[in-house]
Amino acid sequence: MRFLAKKIEKQIGAYQSELIETHYREVENMYRQIRGWRHDYRNHIQTMKAYAAAGDLPAIQRYLDLLDNDLTTVDTVIKTGNPMTDAILNSKISLAKSRHIPVVADAHIPVKLKSSEIDLCCIIGNLFDNAIEASMKLPEEKRLIRVYMDMKNTQLYISFTNFTAGKKMEKQGGLFRSTKGEGHGLGLVRIDAIVERLDGYLSRNSEDGAFTTEILLPQV
């Protein structure tokens, strides 16, 4: 029993270290993009000046449309208000999209939380990993992950929904059975342990075609 506890503790520690590294990588990537935009900004001005000097108004309009589309792409980055959560969400969304899994996310989180950022990111990371794994079993046209996070009075509300292969998941001992094999159960247990320690509420619901996890975490 002690050996199992140490093994779980070691895996949790490794996961937390991965979250911190992900955060710094995401922040570094954002700074790199900002430096690139500053450099490109000068080039954009010079290009439009050249069009203006030539009196080519249609070319200026086309160029402005391209810049508008570029800014729209930048605005798709999730900004919750909490830097650590932004890092893990954007990292996981990027991973999902690289695997052709659309993500619809609406997340708003106060900068200051009673819950630790590590706990919150462990929950989000595991929920996302499970949703991505389940989505990979579906044809691309049926894949979708929905994420919603916001304050409900004094509690932080988290909801993750992903489509499944259409078969309702079965419970064993009050818990939904994992189909991912050894190691997957650790993620579910970790989420349960964090929610319980924070006196929160957790609900998992499997209906035909979708699996939803809802969590409430008190913030006072």
Q: Average the pLDDT over 23-42 and give the result.
A: 65
Q: Are residues 165 and 117 in the same domain?
A: yes
Q: How many domains does the chain have?
A: 2
Q: Are residues 192 and 98 in the same domain?
A: yes
User: What pTM does this model have?
Assistant: 0.66
Those residues with Cβ within 8 angstroms of residue 202's Cβ, 6 or more apart along the chain or in another chain: 191, 192, 195, 213, 214, 215, 216
In tens, the pLDDT along 67-105 reads 776 665 554 467 787 777 887 888 888 888 888 999 999
Where does a domain end: 53, 74, 95? Answer: 74
Q: In terms of residue numbers, what domain contains 10?
A: 2-74
User: Do residues 210 and 162 lie in contact, with contact meaning Cβ atoms separated by under 8 Å?
Assistant: yes
Do 91 and 153 belong to one domain?
yes
Q: Alpha helices of the chain — where are they, by DSSP H?
A: 2-53, 57-74, 83-98, 117-135, 184-197
